Amino acid sequence: MKKIIILALVLSIAVGIILMAVEFGSRDKENNIELRQHAPNISKNAVTPFKRLLREGDRLEEYVLRTDANGFILPSKIHDEPDIDIYFVGGSTTECETVKEILRFPYLVGRLLEEKTGLKVNAFNAGVGGNNSQHSLNILIHKILPLQPDIVVYHHNINDIVQLAYYGNYNAGVSNEEGDDKFSKLRGSTVRLDTKSIALQYKNALEGFVDACLSKGAQPVLMTQILRTSLDQTPNRLPESLELTIPQNPFDSVPEPAFLKVIHMIHKEFNSIIRDEASEHDLLL
């Protein structure tokens, strides 16, 4: 009897180890939410991107991106004893890598608020190119909230669309060991979108961000996002199902009109979700 119990225990442990290995292996391939942030105390040069943009004009200019000891983009901490600390989260349009340091909008907001209010304002830029709202929620909880921010500005839309449209949820992803384009294995394929699910996931992510801020006494400020391209007509109501053909190389060519139309429809819906969330909680928009 004792031998049977020992054998059963050994088998249980072995099965447990196998299941753990399978789970961690699966996580490595599928879990796409991570603490994506800039390293502290870096200084690097960036060149205006993409061959398509260079063909449109002479834009080959170097820009510097520096970070402070906490990984926030410089200039950041202007005052040792500020009246207000504001933190900005978002993707590349918040990061503003290929913009001169003193012209990046998070920094400018701090300076403009000082001019208009007479208060001492520190504006910290936690934007990272490619980040979506789940990445920023991670940064918010583990990095920003412990610093006791007064205000946190949320600026997300298009990166959430890409993640949710291409994979269907925030967790999924396919690792790409050959380059920086994590969507390379999907290029040229056509996916069917459950737009109701996508919109709900984005809404839940936004609500989670707002709730996390409010729970720690930080005031969330929500921003809608614009697109550089425009369409003459975008439906007011988002269809429940859409097809999307993922561009082969969006960096060096203009995406097809059919692709842009789908992106515009979802983009418009996400901006509406942002406005509704701001209205529901009486937040600045």
**18 vs 222, more confident:** 222
The gap from C-alpha 27 to its chain's centroid, in whole angstroms, comes to 20
Contacts of 111 (CB under 8 A, 6+ apart): 121, 123
Q: Tell me how many domains the chain contains.
A: 1
Structural domain includes residue 229: yes
> 206 is in which domain, residue-wise?
42-281
Q: Give yes or no for residue 225 having a pLDDT over 70.
A: yes
Task: Assign 107 a pLDDT band (cuts: 50, 70, 90).
Answer: very high
240 or 76, which is more confident: 76
Q: The tokens 């590349």 sit on which residue?
A: 92
Residue 7: inside a domain: no
Non-local (6+) Cβ contacts of 15 within 8 A are: none
Segment (H or E) for 258: helix 257-281
Residue 22 included in any domain: no
Structure tokens, 172: 């999924």
With a CB cutoff of 8 Å and minimum separation 6, the contacts of 46 are 62, 63, 64, 65, 97, 98
Domain of 265, CATH number, reads 3.40.50.1110
Write down the pLDDT at residue 113: 96
pTM, 2 dp: 0.80
Looking at per-residue pLDDT, the higher value among 119 and 8 belongs to: 119
Residue 235 has pLDDT above 90, yes or no: no
* 174 pLDDT higher than 70: no
Over residues 121-128, the mean pLDDT reads: 97
